[in-house]
């Protein structure tokens, strides 16, 4: 996957829902990857590392809650935002989705504006988190080099002292 292309994985077992979601996403200039169940969804997420995942929660093979937990437990893909798309609209279902690791929740039927807004929000948040992580990695790398630089400086100072002492002995 190219870093410049926004790739969205749609994990949804209902073909009509996938078609509708793809139509909405096509207006967002995104590459769309599909998975029909949670098991395939986890595999595709790990292999293709999409920018964002839209996860139905009621899926065959492995439900969306378990698939989300597996994705979030894998450090290679845990950073990928997951938005639950579900007909589960009962009290507590949103909290259950968030506890499983979803970053957000949208109940079906999907509201096109809400979906587009939440996708844009989570992609921007992920982009900012990635930039912050890169900056943190750079700072951590610099800090990791500090002990080596301190040793080098000490060695240089020691060399200078030895050279000064040798010169003093020669001058005497």
pLDDT at 9 over 80: yes
The residue among 141 and 103 whose pLDDT is bigger is 103
Sheet containing strand 7-11, edge to edge, reads: 31-35, 7-11, 52-56, 82-86, 104-107
CA distance linking residue 44 with residue 53, whole number of Å = 10
pLDDT of 2 reads 43
Mean pLDDT along residues 53-64 = 92
Within a domain: 139: no
Q: Could you tell me which residue, 159 or 117, shows the higher pLDDT?
A: 117
Residue 103 lies in a domain: yes
Residue 3 has pLDDT above 60, yes or no: no
Domain membership flag for residue 138: no
- Domains identified in the chain, total number: 1
In this prediction, residue 32 carries a pLDDT of: 94
Position 68 in a domain: yes
Give Cβ neighbours of residue 57 (< 8 Å, ≥ 6 apart): 63, 64, 65, 84, 85, 86, 88, 93, 97
Checking if the pLDDT of 1 tops 50, the result is no
Residue 157 lies in a domain: no
Residue 164 lies in a domain: no
Name the least confident of 10-24, 41-55, 65-79. Answer: 10-24
Distance between CA atoms of residues 140 and 143, nearest Å: 5
Q: Any idea what the Cα angle at residue 59 is, between residues 57 and 62, rounded to 5°?
A: 100
Task: Decide which of 57 and 152 is more confident.
Answer: 57
In a domain, 149, yes or no: no
Q: What is the DSSP string of 122-168?
A: HHHHHHHHHHHHHHHHHHHHHHHHHHHHHHHHHHHHHHHHHHHHHHH
Domain that holds residue 121: 7-131
Instruction: Note whether residue 165 is domain-resident.
Output: no
pLDDT surpassing 90 at residue 70 = yes
Among 108, 31, 105, residue whose Cα is nearest residue 65 = 105
Helix (H) or strand (E) holding 69: helix 64-73
CATH label of the domain that carries residue 12: 3.40.50.2300
pLDDT over 90, % of the chain: 52
């Amino acid at each position: 996957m190219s870093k410049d292309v926004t790739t969205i994985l749609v994990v949804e077992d209902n073909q009509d829902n996938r078609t509708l979601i793809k139509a909405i996403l096509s207006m967002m200039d995104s590459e769309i990857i599909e998975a029909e169940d949670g098991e395939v969804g986890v595999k595709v997420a790990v292999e293709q590392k999409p920018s964002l995942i839209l996860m139905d929660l009621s899926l065959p093979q492995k439900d969306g809650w378990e698939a989300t937990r597996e994705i979030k437990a894998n450090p290679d893909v845990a950073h990928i935002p997951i938005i639950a798309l579900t007909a589960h609209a009962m009290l507590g279902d949103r909290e259950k989705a968030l506890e499983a690791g979803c970053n957000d929740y949208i109940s079906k039927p999907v509201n096109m504006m809400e979906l587009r807004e939440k996708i844009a929000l989570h992609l921007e948040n992920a982009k900012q988190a990635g930039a912050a992580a890169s900056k943190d990695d750079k700072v951590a790398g610099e800090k990791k080099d500090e002990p080596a630089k301190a040793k080098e400086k000490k060695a240089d100072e020691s060399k200078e002292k030895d050279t000064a002492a040798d010169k003093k002995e020669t001058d005497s």
